[in-house]
Amino acid sequence: MSALIKELTAEHVEITMALNKAKQLGIQSPRGREALLAVKKGLLAHLEKEDRLLYPALNRAAQSNSSLKRTLDVFAADMDKVSASALAFFDKYADGGSGIEFAKEFGGLFATLSQRIRKEETILYKKFDEVS
């Protein structure tokens, strides 16, 4: 496993732990909102790192690999939806909100991010290691 993939995988763990911390603190508390903001910042930094270091190498390899190109197209379309959903969630709860509504929407966000993380680690990151 490459150093980049190890780093990105470790960031997935950090993001997941930070999400759980924000949930435990609750959206009504200032500490909970701070934790949620930290998750947003961490997630955006992670996505920026993938855009800067992961995807350029994969896109270069996909120029001569149609199967990889299709995989990247699927991942890109999925990421557009995941990112929009996550950012809308963070914006909605930046200043607090209903505990019940937050819990419900948090569950949806957590499931979506968890599924994306699992797909990245089992498919995309393996493809990166194969081509780099």
The length of the chain in residues reads 132
pLDDT score recorded for residue 98: 76
For residue 128, is pLDDT > 80? yes
Q: What does pTM read for this prediction?
A: 0.91
pLDDT digit string, tens, across residues 85-98: 999 998 888 877 77
> Each residue of 104-116: pLDDT tens digit?
899 999 999 999 9
Q: So what's the pLDDT on residue 29?
A: 84
Mark residue 29 as left, alpha or beta (left: phi above 0; alpha: psi -120 to 50; beta: remaining): beta
Give 127's contacts (C-beta < 8 A, 6+ positions apart): 58, 61, 68, 71
Per-residue pLDDT, averaged over 56-64, amounts to 97
Domains of the chain: 3-131 (1.20.120)
In this prediction, residues 10-37 reach a mean pLDDT of 90
Residue whose token pair is 């496993």 = 1
